Amino acid sequence: MNKTLSWQPEFNFNDIEIRQREVQYQGYYQIHTVSLRYKCFSGNWGDWLVREQVNIAPSTAVLLLDPNRKKVVLVEQFRMGGLDQRDTASPWLLEIVAGYINENEVPEDAAIREALEEANAKITKIIPIQEIFTTPGGFTERTSIFCGLIDSQSIGQLGGAKEEHEDIKIHVLDVNDALNLLDHNLLTNASTIIALQWLKLNRDHLL
């Protein structure tokens, strides 16, 4: 790591002891219970703890941008995470294209594949934005976020892989309209917010 940076981790994987790991559930996700302890900032070892870990494959997310027409492509679909959130408007969320990375697939290739599957969009150039842990308190999922340059002229209204039970409505929006949704707190997905905030910061040279 660059030594001029203001922070780097004090500990690493050598500062963790795992006593036991058990698979408690195997379904769409896998849930483990892990007995572990780790070094504390005091220098001592902490107590032995049992924690649940939800194992989820790494994922990719891509903001589809048409710089010539100043458009972005967002997708709307039902999300299980919003099912019981009755204080929100709907469990159908508007997001950037996203999906899991297949085995032996690099994040960039997954982003290109998902753009075709979900939005019928062909990426001509891909730009890395950020890598994030989606919910690091207990979920293993790590998301690679990109911007993919496209031509939005021939994109249709519906997309998604039927064999994956995806039912997706495609929205081609003016950049300003998408950023207005962000400013009014109508976009709630972390990868989408990060990507559009990145676009806001970089729009002058991208457009």
- Give the pLDDT confidence of 158-195 residue by residue, as tens digits: 988 777 778 999 999 999 999 999 999 999 999 999 99
CA dist 31 and 55 (Å) reads 6
Tens-place pLDDT, residues 66-101: 999 999 999 999 998 888 877 777 889 999 999 999
Number of C-beta neighbours around residue 133 at 10 A: 11
CATH 3.90.79.10 occupies which residues in the chain? 59-206
Model confidence at 198: pLDDT above 90 = yes
User: Tell me: the pLDDT tens digits for 146-162?
Assistant: 999 999 998 989 988 77
pLDDT at 80: 85
Cα 137 to Cα 54: distance, rounded to the nearest angstrom: 10
What is the Cα–Cα distance from 17 to 44, expressed in whole angstroms? Answer: 13
**Helices 175-183 and 190-206: angle between axes, nearest 10 degrees:** 140
Active-site amino acid positions: 164
Strand partners, 61: 98, 145
State residue 8 phi and psi, 5-degree precision.
Answer: -145, 155
Q: What is the pTM of this model?
A: 0.91
Is CATH 3.90.79.10 what the domain over 59-206 is classified as, yes or no? yes
pLDDT tens for 25-68 read 999 899 999 999 999 999 999 999 999 999 999 999 999 999 99
Q: Of 155, 189, 164, which is closest to residue 76 (Cα–Cα)? A: 189
* In the predicted structure, residue 11 carries a pLDDT above the cut 60: yes
> Is the per-residue pLDDT at 1 higher than 60?
no
Does residue 133 have a pLDDT over 70? yes
